[in-house]
Structure 1
Amino acid sequence: MTPGKAACDACARLEREKEAARQAGDLSKVTDCAVLLKRHPGHSKRSTLSGRGRA
């Protein structure tokens, strides 16, 4: 298995939660899951906020 999001149980769980929230119309939870996925260590080029971008 290749390293990355597909190999991580936590990411898989967050993806499932995000999709369930999307189907339920809970856009706040969709956003929360997306942020947690982006911040999850080891899966993105920049796993911490750099202080730049939108607030």
Structure 2
Amino acid sequence: MARGDQVEVAAVGAHDAGGGAPMARDSIFRVASMGPVPAPVIREFWRYAADA
């Protein structure tokens, strides 16, 4: 979530579907979608991920 110059990053979910270990902020995972993902969304995701 971003507002102005402030960015809030939260890791939510689990590493597996069974609810095992919690997702960490620096976890690596594949982004999958049922439909097309607009390029600006992907660009913002990688921009914030690089700043983490």
TM-score, with length taken from structure 2: 0.35
Structure with greater proportional strand content = 2
Quick one: higher RCO (CA 8 Å, sep 6+), 1 or 2? 1
Structure with greater proportional helix content = 1
